[in-house]
Amino acid sequence: MSFLSRDAQPSRVLVLNGNPSRETLCGAMAEKIAADARRRGQTVRLVHLEDLSFDANLNQGYRARMEWEPDLKAFADDLIWCDRLVIVHPLWWGSAPAQLKGLFDRVLLPGFGFQYIEGKPLPKPLLAGRKARIVITSDTPTIFLKWIYGNGWVKLLRRQILGFCGFKDLKVKYFAPVRGAKPEALAKMVEAAPAILG
């Protein structure tokens, strides 16, 4: 399907709660984003990482292909289907929870996320024509994430993970600090999360 035909259709939004637990701030945000996208007339698929059963360890690297478990096959189908991916996740040790990183490792493989081309230094992205939106919750104040720590995880997503596989127009929204936030402040964060849709 061409990019133009994607644009002509109602947006297909895949929302991924990348927190390994559903009953979290990220889970509530993902639910709110999905509900808001549906209200706007978009077709939505909502996936909670907690519901996916798969081995997060790519233990053979690229030497031998690990067959996808049914949940990984379904998630790969969702990635092909969507024209916008929204990932909501907490920032743990400056990046993603291990299970979310493992999801990227297992799904975004050569032949699906990208393709090596003989004689070319960079692979061909295979998921082009899609946009990405990232919502990150953190205990670290945003100013520290951007100016002290240098936004390392976002740079990886933009240049070496999602961007590498063809996702464009990656926008990020931070919600921080979460630790110590009062219930009313957390509720406001949930209400504000759908703004990532634009």
Superfamily of domain 12-197: Flavodoxin domain (3.40.50.360)
Using the predicted structure, report yes or no on whether residue 22 has a pLDDT greater than 50: yes
Q: Are 105 and 119 in contact (CB under 8 A)?
A: no
Q: Where in the chain are the domains?
A: 12-197
pLDDT in the model for residue 9: 52
pTM score of the predicted model: 0.92
Q: Quick: pLDDT tens for 169-196.
A: 999 999 999 999 999 999 999 999 999 9
Q: What is the mean pLDDT of residues 33-57?
A: 97
| d(C-alpha 89, C-alpha 87), whole Å | 6
Q: Quick: pLDDT tens for 63-115.
A: 888 999 999 999 999 999 999 999 999 999 999 999 999 999 999 999 999 99
Using the predicted structure, report yes or no on whether residue 10 has a pLDDT greater than 70: no
